[in-house]
Amino acid sequence: MQALNDFLALIDSYIGGSDWFVFLLLATGLFFTIYLKFPQLRYFGHALKIVRGKFDRKGDEGDASHFQALATALSGTVGTGNIGGVALAIHLGGPAALFWMLVTAFLGMTTKFVEVTLSHKYRETDTTGHIAGGPMYYMKNAEFNIFGKKQHLAWMGAIFAFATILSSFGTGNLPQINNIADSVFSSFQIERWITGAVLAVFLALVILGGIKRIVKVTEKLVPGMALIYFLGALAVILTNYENIVPSFISIFEDVFTGTAAAGGFLGANLAFAFNRGVNRGLFSNEAGQGSAPIAHAAAKAHEPVSEGMVAILEPFIDTIIICTLTGLVLLSSGAWNEKYYNLFDYTDLDVLGQYFDENNPEDKARLRSYLLNESDMQMYSGDLNVEDGTVVSDVTLVHNRSFADNVHVYTYDEDGNKTPFTGSLKIEDGDVRLQPDQDVRMEGESLVHSAQLTTYAFERSFMGSGGKYIVTIGLLLFAFSTAISWSYYGDRATTYLFGPKYIIFYRILYVIGFFVASFTPTTIIWTLSGITIALMTIPNLIGILLLSKEMKSTVKQYWIDFNNDWPDANTPE
């Protein structure tokens, strides 16, 4: 598993985790925000009226209402990114990472407006009579003016569709069940594979019913899950009311300098906060990824621009509201920089070749420099000697980017009983390499991240330990609805590439992957997710940039037609 994670991390460092990808994402949103004169602000009120059905017409073509399309798209975006993704961003980049998530969301409101409008404009009806849409269809059907020559980019549509199938696993499937299983195990001690098996059955029952059953489920799940999570988050924030103002200040004061070391958190520089904040912001609201247009393509609408305006609301609800709530929970509770006793994930563990003292400022600074990729570190290779559960080799253990304290090593028998381990573990370049006959686990105190961190934060209120059930229930609903929606995105991509008859094979693989990911190491899941998101986002961003002039003229024509049809309406244009 460690070797696999290292390989995936190397790939991710060149695409999703690279600086150029982050700048491409933000630059696209900034360009369209200025080019279209801040539509996320000017059209916000109009979008609310459209969702309420004020301008609907009888006979509009589609399989879902505006609200159902919005709920389906939101259920695809509101998931582990809002609970685990925010926690991971702050764990890596400090409070300033939340600022960059919000910037990504604000610019992403325009990006979603553009990608949904263009995709809706070029949607089709498939051979089964259902609406099919998404970026692959505008890539295939629109005329792109490239070096003065008009052409269609069906080949790029095929690349996007294939990336969508991969991302349906990397975004909507694997991270969702992985976080659900971890949270359920933490709250109820139910084995991860059992949670995966039960939910895989429910997932199969829903997605086999197609888009009409999916929208019926998501339009009920989304409002309910948002309300539960919202009330739980408010309980934590209000309990720690004295930290609300300092929490807001911490988000903004270190935006351009990075966050200093605090508690178990060893600090983050500007590059780390910026990169992780934007990256997790994309995972949260998916603006620019091209996923939401697939859901919105099914909406009953006679004007593509009107559906694009509905999409403006998604990053606002998903990131600016829900992710900000999660961020304030983590910061106001103080949970984000404290160590907790936890079971170590070997993919998050580094064994350093020398001893460092956490109480020594020079040692802390040295480790911080290594974690921020500012310097190299001598990693340990050889046998790690353990006596009666205690590491006796002169090394430093770093888990979840923090000094590991009070470490205990246990071995497990066939019945799951643990006893202190005595012996040696093979270490290669800082990584634990267990032998086939070894069932050895490490436990100790370190920082935690993802849904586990949010769970601890929710316990810092008058609800006490009951707060973890809010996270578990919220995560269950959020993540499960995300998995449902992404199965539909994969359906549409499969239809585009291979035809409707192959959908059943995709759905079977999707359910199997959902089960397997429930007991796969979390770090590997997140790394794979970053890769698949980038593979899907890059062709979509290139496509909408090439159609920028068409987008502007389409919006202009929309207001001309709208004012003719609704002369008494107060419009922002």
Q: pLDDT, tens digit, for every residue of 124-158?
A: 877 777 778 899 999 999 999 888 888 989 999 99
Lowest mean pLDDT among 25-39, 206-220, 229-243, 539-553: 206-220
The predicted structure's pLDDT at residue 80: 67
Write out the two tokens for 306: 């009107």
Write out the two tokens for 18: 């690279």
Question: Which pLDDT band, with edges at 50, 70 and 90, does 296 fall under?
Answer: confident
Give the DSSP letter string of 330-349. HHHHTGGG--EEEEPPGGGE
Find the mean pLDDT for residues 15-27. Answer: 84
Q: Could you report the per-residue pLDDT of 97-118, keeping only the tens digit for each?
A: 999 999 999 999 999 999 999 9
Q: What is the mean pLDDT of the chain?
A: 86
The predicted structure's pLDDT at residue 50: 84
DSSP conformation class of 133: -
The predicted structure's pLDDT at residue 61: 58
Determine contact, residues 75/220, Cβ cutoff 8 Å: no
Question: Which pLDDT band, with edges at 50, 70 and 90, does 210 fall under?
Answer: low
Percentage of the chain with pLDDT > 90? 44
Helices (H), ranges, 445-521: 450-458, 467-498, 503-516
Query: The pTM is what?
Result: 0.83
Q: Could you report the per-residue pLDDT of 357-405, keeping only the tens digit for each?
A: 999 999 999 999 999 988 899 999 999 999 999 999 999 999 999 999 9
The predicted structure's pLDDT at residue 74: 67
d(CA 425, CA 427): 6
What CATH number was assigned to the domain covering residues 2-338+457-565?
Answer: 1.20.1740.10
Q: Could you report the per-residue pLDDT of 517-526, keeping only the tens digit for each?
A: 888 766 677 7
The predicted structure's pLDDT at residue 410: 95
For the cut 60, the answer to whether the pLDDT of residue 63 exceeds it is: no
For the cut 80, the answer to whether the pLDDT of residue 279 exceeds it is: no
Nearest of 528, 81, 489, 493 to residue 285 by alpha carbon: 81
The predicted structure's pLDDT at residue 391: 95
For the cut 80, the answer to whether the pLDDT of residue 284 exceeds it is: no
Contacts of 235 (CB under 8 A, 6+ apart): 461, 462, 463, 467, 470
Q: Where in the chain is the domain with CATH 1.20.1740.10?
A: 2-338+457-565
For the cut 60, the answer to whether the pLDDT of residue 62 exceeds it is: no
Percentage of the chain with pLDDT > 70? 92
Q: Could you report the per-residue pLDDT of 411-431, keeping only the tens digit for each?
A: 987 777 889 999 999 999 999
Highest mean pLDDT among 8-17, 48-57, 205-214, 344-353: 344-353
The predicted structure's pLDDT at residue 522: 65
